[in-house]
Structures are given as C-alpha cells and as structure tokens.
Structure 1
Amino acid sequence: MSKDIRIKKGLNINLVGAAEQTTTKAVLSNVYAINLNDFHGITPKMLVKQGAEVKAGEPLFYNKNREDMMFVSPVSGELVEINRGARRRILSLKILADKEQAVASHSPLKVDPATKDEVKAFLLKSGAWPFIKQRPYDIIANPDDTPKAIFISGYTTAPLAAESDYVLQGKEEELQAAINALGKLTPGKVHVSVGSASSSTLSVLSGIELHKVSGPHPAGLVGTQINRIDPINKGETVWTVSPQDLVIIGELLLTGKFNPERIVALSGSCVKAPKYYKTKIGAEISTFLYSSGVTDDKFRVVNGDVLTGSKSKPDGHLGFYNNTVSVIPEGDDYDLFGWNKPIFNKISATRALTFSWMQPNKKYDLNTNTNGEHRAFVVTGMYEKVFPMDIYPLQLLKACMVQDLDEMEQLGLYEVAPEDFALTEFVCVSKQPHQQIIREGLDLLYKEIG
C-alpha cells in the first residue's frame, strides 16, 4: 500500500531539449577521471602510485578518517595523473583505460543470511559505500551511525534530468538485492518514492514503504520527501541513495564485480538530438556530447542538471553522482532595458511584467545569464512560494551567513542540503549563491558540533 504525498509549493522549469527515451552506447573513453570534489569532506590517502596498473573495482585510495572505506577505479588501466592543489591536496585522478578491461572480483554476498556488519564490510571494501549519503550534512554516510530510515527518490522533477522510470527498466533483480541489503542497515523503513502516475520498477519491489508523490519541483528531491515523511531532528540520521546507484550496489552484491555503468541523459536546447547514452562514471563528456551534435558555438556544458550541476568543459569528465549532462546557451549577452519591458521568453515566479504564469506548460530556451548582479537580500516573499519545507528559508540563509550556530540548528539546517535551495537561488532577485551559503553553513555546523 502506498502513501500519497502532494506538494503544492514549487516551480516547474520546463526547458527545451528534454532527452528522447532512446539509449545509445557512448564511444569508449580513453581517459576516466575521479574528481575528489564529488566526495565532500573526505581526506584521501592513496593506495597506489602514479604509473601503477589498476583493475576496475580495485581501490585507489581510502578515507583517512575511516581506513576501511575504499574508493575504487571505474576501469582498468594506468593511473597516469594525480592532480594536486595547495598543500598537495589531491584534486583529481586520471586513469588511461585499457582496451581489454580487467575487473577485480569479490565473492558475491548472500544478503538474506548476512548480518548488518557483514553487509557494511562488503560495501566498504568493494567501493560501493560512497554511494550512500547521509542527512544531516549531506556527506558520505558514517558507517558507525545507525540511520532511523533510508530514503530513495525515483520521482524526477528537476529540469532536463534523467527520468528514473526509463533508466531503471529491466533492473528489478539488482534493485531488489540492493534494497534487501539496505534494509539490514536500519531498524526503520526503506522509503521509496515514485510519481503518482508512475509505473516505475521501484514500485514493485518488496521490503519498502512506497510513497506516490505529485507536485512541482522540488517534489522529486529526497530532502522534500524526508521533510514530509519523517523529518530529521537533532541527533537523528537518515541515509539516502539515488536509484542508479542502487543498481550498481545490487549488481555488486549479485556478481561481486563493480560495474560503474551510467545511463546519462544528454539534454538541452544546444543539443541537436538529445537522448540517453550508456557510459561509465568518470568518462569524458566529449565521448557522447558531439555524437548528438551541438547547435551553437557559445554553449555551456553543465555536469548535472541546470539547477544543481557544475560548469564543465566539453572534454571534462562525468561526475561520480551525475546521470545528466545539460547543454544550454552561454548567457554572455544582455537585453537593453530587459528589466523594464514585458517579458515573454523567460520563466519567473512573479507576475510583474512577465507572462510565464499564463502558460505553465510552455517550454523555454533559457541561457546562463543571471539577468542581474549580486546585491543585498531583498525581502520579497518569493522564496517561501517555491520552498515546500516547513522551514523559513530566508532566515536560515542569513543565519548561515552570520555563522549563528544556535539559529542554524533551530531553523532546520539539519534537514537540508544545498540542492534543496537550488530553486530559491533560481528565483532570487538578489542573485545570492544560496547553495554555496548552505554548503558553508553545513560545513561549519559539522566542524563545530558534528
């Protein structure tokens, strides 16, 4: 039996260039990269040296604060580059892939008779643990904690993002194995959310509590669902896993082999034929970007969706957690008196000189222009209209900026992640970097209270 969740506050950003639901195998990448920025708060300790030969699934480094937490290579090949920054901090690793792939193997884990500790040990040593993240703090989960529940969102509402219903087709066995294993790690429930009209593979799994969600973005974000289903209080922890990462975990449990395969949505108005590509974590974006063709000379590649992704070069590499690459026009031109005339080609949460509210299903071709400069916070009440959590977003942002720990706690920082503020950042007339502010607030709270 499912439990329905209806979200009323939010804003759907309908963009031109949604990926057609056909999948093509991407050209094999010569070089794969692991960006350490994807593992927030992790201090890596290398296990192999530059020039070493590694197998797919073989550990490259471990977490300094948790030596049994391994991070593994997505492919077999030569570790050709260890890119370091200030104080010799490791920024990224690059592996030159072999033509014939060799895979490190583990003994498959029989989940049903396995204990909680055996499941944890298997996921830690095999490199699958980094796929499990925790709230509060939005970091890789601490294996020593016991979460009160685990949340998985299979409802996609972010603009141009990969549709979970499509990419999970035919993965029932892997998903069920992963769910069975995760159920061992919590005394609570494994909450799975799908769209209200969805026929998702996730909805037929056993051992879950199913929720059918409807409403505008950010209804599909796991933070919104946690807030409605089982909010986080001080001292409590919940874990989250994305659906495609469940597939990797499940296949690893069943076969003993780490297969970091991704079905990536290449989307955006600058792509001639937006569709899905089968590739691997860390692959060069150019291996599938130019296969679909690019329609504009000035475009921006976003590693992720347009609200939460990061700017990337065409020869950049797919992020560890990303299953979407968005390509939209670079906004380096300006409208003369654009702020003082009727606007028909942009989305706005306000009705002042804009008409997007009259055509809620219209698709727009937006660029990266912020249409204004950074300025002090202007109190407009717009954040509350698109922020569905029972939290005061403006007050929480200000508490983070002034580093008031007591206010940050009382206003609900434990419940949120930077992605939960992507939509308020989009509608912000003050052009404040909301996601960065929340990330810095979470880091401070973890350092001081953790």
Structure 2
Amino acid sequence: MSKLIKLKKGFDIKLVGKAEKKIAEAPQPETFAVKPTDYPGFYMPKMLVKEGDVVKAGTPIFYDKKKEGIFYAAPVSGEVVEVKRGEKRKLLEVKILADKQISYEEFSKFNVSELTKLSRKEATEQLLNSGVWPNIIQRPYGIVADPNDTPKAIFISAFDSHPLAADLSFTLKGEEQNFQAGLEVLSKFTDGKIHLNVNADSEDAAVFSQAKDVVINKISGPHPAGNVGVQIHHIDPINKGDVAWTVSPFGVAQIGKLFLTGHYDASRVIAVAGSEVKNPQYYKTYTGASIKKFVGNNLKSNHVRFVSGNVLTGEKVDSDGHLGFYHNLLTVIPEGDYYEMLGWALPSKRLSFQRALGLLSFLNPNKEYVMDTNTRGEKRAFVQTGVFEQVTPMDILPTHLIKAVMAEDYDNMEALGIYEVVEEDLALCEFVDVSKHDIQAILRHGIDLMLNS
C-alpha cells in the first residue's frame, strides 16, 4: 500500500546557479575515468587491464578481491592511457582516451516479453559481467550490494532534494521503456516490494507515473526528504539482520538498457550548476567524464571549487578531474580560502540554519545565496546543541550516534541506529555543526568498523 509521508525536520539550502532545463551542445570530453574511490566498501582492487590496452564500453577494468564476481567496467571504448596511483600504490583511477565512435561489448539481448521469463541467475550474471551491478547499493552500510543476498525490498528515490540537484524527471525524459525494463529485472531479486518514492510537492513525470508493478509513495518536506535512507526509515526501517537494496533512477534505466540492447550504455545527462558558472545547464555525456569541456570558457572566475556531485556530499575534483560514477551534477562555487576576523560574531546576510547568525535568511526563506567553501571557524570541542536532531527527520539520536562512533562503542552504535544511515543522511548535521566536525567522515569510520567487526 502506498504512503504519503510529510516531513517537517530538515533544511533546504537554496543556492544561486540552478541549471536551466535545456541540453546544451558541447564537445565530448576526451578522457573518462573509472575510480575505485567512488565505491564505498571497495577494499582491494585487482587490475584487469594495463596502460596501452584497448577496451570497449563494458570491458571489465578491475574488481574487488573481496568480491571477485563484481566487475567495474569501462564506460566508453578507447585506449587506457593512465593507471593513476597514490600513496602505497593505492589505485586512484584508470583513465581512458575515448574513441570518437563508441563500440560496445556484446551481452545477451531480450525483448520486453522475454524479460518476464528471465531467471534471477541469468539477470545476476549479466549485471555482474557487464559492470552495471554497482548501481545496486545495499543498506545497511551503503556499499555495493552482495549478489548472494535477497533484499526484503528495493527502494528508488525519484527526486533529489540536495542543493542545485539535477532534475531527475528532465534527465530521464524519454527513458520510460528502459526504466520499466529495469524494474522488471530488479523484481527478480526480491520477494518483497519495489518502492518508487516521488515528490508529493511536484507533478509526477511520465517515466515515474507510468511505472508498473511498484508501490508509489509520496514524500514531502525539506531536504533530506529526497534521500532514499530517510524514505526507507519511514516506509520499512532497517533492523539488525535486514538487507534492503537501493537503486538510483538512472541506474534502473541503465539496467533496462543493458537487457533491451545488450550493451553497457553509460550515456547520461548531467547538470553543470553553481554561482560561478556563466550558463548553468545540462549536457549529454558518459559516466566518469572529464569536466574540462563543460567548464572551459564557462566560468565567472578562476578561483573556484569544482565538486563532483552536490555541495553537501560531493567530492572535490581538480579542473582536469572526472565526475564520479554516481554523480550527475558538477557544482562550481567560489573557493573560500580567506580569513574573516570575528566573522561569526558580526551581523550577516549569509544563509544559516541558526537564527542568531542568519536572521535575514530566516525571514526570507526563498532567497537564493552565493556561498563559498569557507567554514568560518576551526574544529573545536564537540558542543551539544540539539541542532542535529532538528535537521534529521529520523527516529534516531544523531549527536549520540556520532559520539558513539568517535568512542568506537560498537554496542551503542548499533543501538543508536548506525544500520539506518549513510553519509548523505547526516550531511546536514555537518552543515549546521558549530564544532566544525567532519560528520560524514566520522560516520563512514563507524560503518567501516561495523563492517569489519
């Protein structure tokens, strides 16, 4: 049975520079990258290619020695031009110089009627061998799912409430058949329900409203209403021993394309947004694209921060860096590497959750702001203000949970809800934290402790 969930807790960060809903023409990037660092819980990569090798879209690039059956594949065809490593030879990325015309590895092709007869074994093998499986994320822990598990349910969030987030209805326009095929394939993996969660405050797009054999739930409220973890908490919470899977709408459509066309098709529509972008808009490209072509001659200044993803949970990348596997947004904001004497104590027009610091933003909730990366303060003692609970619309105690992680108290971590959250669910806590702690990094440390216990 579908649900209508109205959330009150949270906070919308409205920034200048949202992408205009039009797809701009731009030369395709020359290089694309596959990065082990994109996948939480990825420990020991085993390379399957070397510099100079020629690959096709869907050619396996590496796998995790702890999960040998799951392959991570090339998004495009071309030559492997660099295997980049960091300290202690840690694999950072595999860079591919793309062909002008993409060629594909061939996998089994099915028509729509054949998908209904598809077995779980056939679906699993094709997803694993093609490199599409990493779209499926397991809860708890937010890691790539184990193909041997049977999830109690599968959850798909059909909207993104992060700052400057890409409009999923726009990026998936015309993907109705692929999306439905992806849902059909995913249904082979669970005896439970597939929950498709849409924004109750906006009109449903055809790609979601026409979906069949799913439970459509409506969610309203401020960010993090669009986070799938928050949605799971209010629909069918994760308890000890439970396993649920989550898939992004893009991931569902990509799964569908794999089975309908027999190709690993990594093409996608991304948004380039932020206050420092001259023309915030959408572009067609492939997963792992170099950002050079999208920001060249499209910046208002050169002293900027490039973020693969959104400003709350994204990853800092260089001007010649590449988008992450799960990202459909490139955000560009001013770099905040300056000192502001007594900035915290002076009257301010900047956005703040604290009314004492951002009274004007409280009185004008719809105003969009230009914000930089300055944290306006250094790390200090953990001040317990109760503000974390005001931006976390879940029945957990985030302040106590983070303290339990810092103390490496396994029993309390479990009791306080670590199975229910990943970094994005507590990202707002980091934004409002007066103590300037890296809440998301602390939480991931706790998740790693639980995984390896």
1:100 CA displacement = 2.9
Structure 1 residues 379, 181: CA separation in 2 closer, same or farther (over 3 Å shift)? same
The answer for the alignment partner of 1:303 in structure 2 is 308
Could you list the runs of 5+ residues in structure 2 that have no partner in the other structure?
none
Contact 2:185 2:255 in 1 (8 A): no
1:167 CA displacement = 1.0
Q: 1:331 is matched by which residue type in structure 2?
A: G
The answer for the alignment partner of 2:59 in structure 1 is 58
1:40 CA displacement = 2.2
Superposed, 1:58-77 pairs within 5 Å as 58-77=59-78
Distance 1:373 1:329 in 2: 19
Could you report, residue by residue, the CA deviation over 1:401-446 in whole angstroms, capped at 9, with x for unpaired residues? 1111100000000010011111010000000000000001000100
1:352 CA displacement = 4.6
Match of 2:233 among 196, 206, 227: 227
Q: Secondary structure at the match of 1:248?
A: helix
The answer for the alignment partner of 1:206 in structure 2 is 212
Structure 1 residues 353, 317: CA separation in 2 closer, same or farther (over 3 Å shift)? closer
The answer for the alignment partner of 2:84 in structure 1 is 83
Structure 1 vs Structure 2: percent identity of aligned residues? 48
Distance 1:222 1:413 in 2: 15
Q: Which has the higher mean CA deviation after the structures are superposed, 128-137 or 336-345?
A: 336-345
Match of 1:376 among 381, 388, 391: 381
1:149 CA displacement = 0.6
- The answer to whether residue 162 in structure 2 is matched with residue 158 in structure 1 is yes
Match of 1:216 among 212, 217, 222: 222
1:353 CA displacement = 5.8
Could you report, residue by residue, the CA deviation over 1:264-300 in whole angstroms, capped at 9, with x for unpaired residues? 1101000111011111111110111225x11122111
Contact 1:155 1:213 in 2 (8 A): no
Contact 1:11 1:349 in 2 (8 A): no
Number of matched residues? 447
Q: Which has the higher mean CA deviation after the structures are superposed, 26-35 or 134-143?
A: 26-35
The answer for the alignment partner of 2:319 in structure 1 is 314
Q: Which has the higher mean CA deviation after the structures are superposed, 332-341 or 180-189?
A: 332-341
The answer for the alignment partner of 1:38 in structure 2 is 38
The answer for the alignment partner of 1:341 in structure 2 is 346
The answer for the alignment partner of 1:194 in structure 2 is 198
- The answer to whether residue 184 in structure 2 is matched with residue 180 in structure 1 is yes
- The answer to whether residue 287 in structure 2 is matched with residue 281 in structure 1 is yes
Contact 1:165 1:198 in 2 (8 A): no
Distance 1:127 1:277 in 2: 23
- The answer to whether residue 48 in structure 2 is matched with residue 47 in structure 1 is yes
Please, what TM-score do these two structures have when normalized by structure 1?
0.97
Q: Secondary structure at the match of 2:405?
A: helix
Distance 1:422 1:320 in 2: 20
The answer for the alignment partner of 2:150 in structure 1 is 146
Superposed, 1:324-363 pairs within 5 Å as 324-352=329-357, 354-363=359-368
Distance 2:429 2:285 in 1: 32
- The answer to whether residue 391 in structure 2 is matched with residue 386 in structure 1 is yes
Distance 2:18 2:30 in 1: 28
Distance 1:169 1:2 in 2: 24
The answer for the alignment partner of 1:101 in structure 2 is 102
Q: 2:139 is matched by which residue type in structure 1?
A: R
Distance 1:430 1:337 in 2: 16
The answer for the alignment partner of 1:20 in structure 2 is 20
Q: 2:386 is matched by which residue type in structure 1?
A: G
Distance 1:168 1:414 in 2: 31
Could you report, residue by residue, the CA deviation over 1:322-354 in whole angstroms, capped at 9, with x for unpaired residues? 001100011123433322222123233333563
- The answer to whether residue 135 in structure 2 is matched with residue 131 in structure 1 is yes
Q: Secondary structure at the match of 1:355?
A: helix
Q: 1:57 is matched by which residue type in structure 2?
A: G
- The answer to whether residue 247 in structure 2 is matched with residue 241 in structure 1 is yes
- The answer to whether residue 425 in structure 2 is matched with residue 441 in structure 1 is no
1:220 CA displacement = 0.4
Superposed, 1:366-445 pairs within 5 Å as 366-445=371-450
Distance 2:115 2:411 in 1: 42
Distance 1:274 1:353 in 2: 27
Q: Secondary structure at the match of 1:311?
A: strand
Q: Secondary structure at the match of 2:379?
A: coil
Distance 2:316 2:137 in 1: 23
Contact 2:351 2:358 in 1 (8 A): no
Q: 2:39 is matched by which residue type in structure 1?
A: F
Distance 1:171 1:27 in 2: 23
Structure 1 residues 189, 35: CA separation in 2 closer, same or farther (over 3 Å shift)? same
Contact 1:58 1:72 in 2 (8 A): yes
Q: Secondary structure at the match of 2:115?
A: coil
1:250 CA displacement = 1.0
Could you list the runs of 5+ residues in structure 1 that have no partner in the other structure?
none
1:199 CA displacement = 1.9
Q: 1:277 is matched by which residue type in structure 2?
A: Y
The answer for the alignment partner of 1:263 in structure 2 is 269
Contact 2:166 2:328 in 1 (8 A): yes
Q: Which has the higher mean CA deviation after the structures are superposed, 85-94 or 10-19?
A: 85-94
Contact 2:352 2:358 in 1 (8 A): no
Distance 1:54 1:211 in 2: 41
1:206 CA displacement = 0.3
Distance 2:270 2:283 in 1: 5
Distance 2:122 2:25 in 1: 35
Contact 2:344 2:357 in 1 (8 A): no
Structure 1 residues 86, 332: CA separation in 2 closer, same or farther (over 3 Å shift)? closer
Contact 1:111 1:119 in 2 (8 A): no
For the aligned residues, what is the CA RMSD?
Answer: 1.4
Q: Secondary structure at the match of 1:33?
A: strand
